Chains A and B, each alone.
Chain A
């Protein structure tokens, strides 16, 4: 009842607005001595009001259509009034013209109208003396110029009325459109799409969490989604503490295993393009561990390869290139039905793994990974329940690794870590054995794969940071874009010149071109193109070099 009342009041109010507009119209009608029009306008209003009331009683909460009809009616009325006022304005314009030319002659020879049907020749005299109707039965004798001034003054009023009408019209047009949209929204028609990002349920969160917590290649997305769940429900510290404690030993063991595998991968990776498969499988196996309990290894592997796409955002609908971590969530998302609206399930990919800084030994990585996870979780907590997206301004730096994570350049849409200022550029293109093989591998990959997923890295912490970077990469890294290629021209090929010559994803022939060039070329081809090329190139390179 109260709804209908409010609706009625609204409608009455609408029409009161129109009334005020019409009233000025009425005045001008009087001025123009079109009493009939005035009466008509006056009479239509109460009808409209009653109609509005009728509508309001008829309209229920759900019938947007009737409301829309009302709005459309108002718009139509406004339009007709607008037409009328435009005519009035034109009349005043022509009147002014006449007033300007009238006093030019002392008298004019005219045909004087006699009644409605007859005319008589006559003279128009006293051309400068005019009796002007001021309104409300008041007249004034004035000269043509004075009358001109009066007309100007009236035109001002007309203009105001026109403007008001325009506003009202626009207003109600917008309202009508809005009700239209509202109808579409609720009716599941139109182009409205509901975009959702689903967070995995708690069970999976907890289950996956302890798998992820110290994973070498833990999927960041998974992580932070999990963390998000955590944050929502428990204190982050408690959650991590409890679940971490339960599975920590197991995780550490697994972590060591993974690291060993990664090193092996790196070796193979350097030597053979086909190693990528191996890496993928290993990486995928790693990922499998992480959270996609049910995911197929092969699927992961393929996706891993496909996942070179640096885009960190894939919609559910285009889920073919979904990152591995997305698998599970995507599945979850799939399961959830759209609520009548076409729904796009938004999920982050773990595609981009932050370029890993060679911190040297893995021991630190674990720690930093942990830290990063915590930082991530904290960030999630802070960001609250955004649509899975951490705010990119979460530049919370809790460990040195965070710095590298946070401050990345954006080259062609792919985040590239900034080269340390301490690192001399002279080391570019020079073969220097930097550190261990793993670090070498890291350097290579950093060079080669911009924004690629580094699952096969031994970057445990890079993985975790991936998730973090993921969040930031689409948004946060853009401020850091400087397109500096040099920053990434990194390293050198250490012991094995082959790898550096092998552009993972470049279209360039696998010779030993300079690294920068190759990098440029690399940037050229977009990520999606790369995977297939990368495969072939690698092989080609190897063959070529062999």
Chain B
């Protein structure tokens, strides 16, 4: 009896750890997105400081490609929107993962208690 519980406990524990890893992964990617968000914001602001007389280039691979200022502004805005959307997606994902890990934690704790009880009983029996 205790053995079975123990095994279950182990499996649950592993699942929980996996979940935690997922959570941290999504957390990392979300951080990256946050960084990109701030960056693009600054680019947008700085583009606003320029006038059409300056040429704007985009680094694509090893090549600096000339871009129109307005085009650049539009591109940057689009990128910003995209990043925001991604962040939202990750947010929801994270929430889901958190919730799931909570559930898992509860299951784990109950299993743990059961296991301890069983162990106690086993000791008592013995």
Contacts and interface: CB of A to CB of B under 8 A. Distances in A.
Interface of A: 1, 5, 19-20, 22-24, 26-27, 30, 38, 42, 45-46, 49-50, 53, 131, 134-142, 146, 149-150, 153-154, 157
A139 B57 contact: yes
B78 to A, nearest CB: 12
A38 B24 CA distance: 18
Contacts of A22: 31
Contact of A27 (B28, B38, B56): B38
A49 B27 contact: yes
Given A23-B34, A53-B20, A149-B49, A46 B28 contact: yes
Interface in B60-102: 60, 64, 67, 72, 76, 79, 102
A137 B61 CA distance: 9
Nearest to A47: B24
A195 to B, nearest CB: 42
Given A46-B28, A53-B20, A26 B59 contact: no
Nearest to A43: B28
B56 A42 contact: no
A149 B51 CA distance: 12
B46 A46 contact: no
B50 interface: yes
A309 B42 CA distance: 70
Nearest to A131: B57
B117 interface: no
Which A-B residue pairs are the 8 nearest by beta carbons? A137-B59, A139-B57, A26-B35, A135-B43, A23-B35, A23-B34, A27-B39, A135-B39
A5 B55 contact: no
A136 B38 contact: no
A42 B27 CA distance: 11
Given A49-B24, A140-B47, A150-B46, A1 B109 contact: yes
Given A23-B38, A24-B38, 16 more contacts: A1-B106, A22-B31, A42-B35, A45-B31, A134-B56, A136-B43, A136-B76, A136-B79, A138-B43, A138-B76, A141-B54, A141-B57, A142-B50, A149-B49, A153-B42, A153-B46
Contact of B102 (A5, A30, A49, A135): A5
Contacts of A27: 35, 38-39, 42
Contacts of B56: 134, 138-141
A53 B27 CA distance: 13
B119 interface: no
A45 B39 CA distance: 19
A460 B24 CA distance: 77
Nearest to B67: A138
B39 A140 contact: no
B113 to A, nearest CB: 11
A146 B109 contact: no
Contacts of A1: 105-106, 109
Contacts of B40: 135-136
Nearest to B51: A146
Nearest to B72: A138
B58 interface: yes
Contacts of B58: 137-139
A22 B27 CA distance: 14
Contacts of A134: 42-43, 46-47, 56
17 contacts: A5-B105, A23-B34, A24-B38, A27-B38, A42-B31, A45-B28, A134-B43, A134-B47, A134-B56, A136-B39, A137-B60, A138-B67, A138-B76, A139-B58, A140-B56, A141-B56, A141-B57
Contacts of B7: none
B57 A157 contact: no
A529 B49 CA distance: 78
B15 interface: no
B57 to A, nearest CB: 4
A321 B111 CA distance: 64
Given A136-B39, A136-B43, A140-B56, A42 B34 contact: no
A142 B52 CA distance: 10
Contacts of A24: 38
Contacts of B102: 5
Contact of B42 (A19, A49, A140, A154): A154
A153 B45 contact: yes
B34 A146 contact: no
A149 B48 CA distance: 11
Contacts of A135: 39-40, 42-43, 46
Nearest to B36: A136
A131 B55 CA distance: 9
Contacts of B50: 140, 142, 146
A19 B27 CA distance: 10
Nearest to B80: A136
B57 A140 contact: yes
A104 B107 CA distance: 72
A142 B50 CA distance: 8
A49 B31 CA distance: 12
Interface string B17-28: 000100010011
A23 B50 CA distance: 25
A30 B38 CA distance: 11
Contacts of B38: 23-24, 27
A190 B60 CA distance: 63
Contacts of B28: 42, 45-46
Nearest to A20: B34
Contacts of A38: 35
Given A42-B31, A136-B40, A153 B49 contact: yes
Nearest to A38: B35
Contacts of A26: 35
Contacts of B35: 23, 26-27, 30, 38, 42
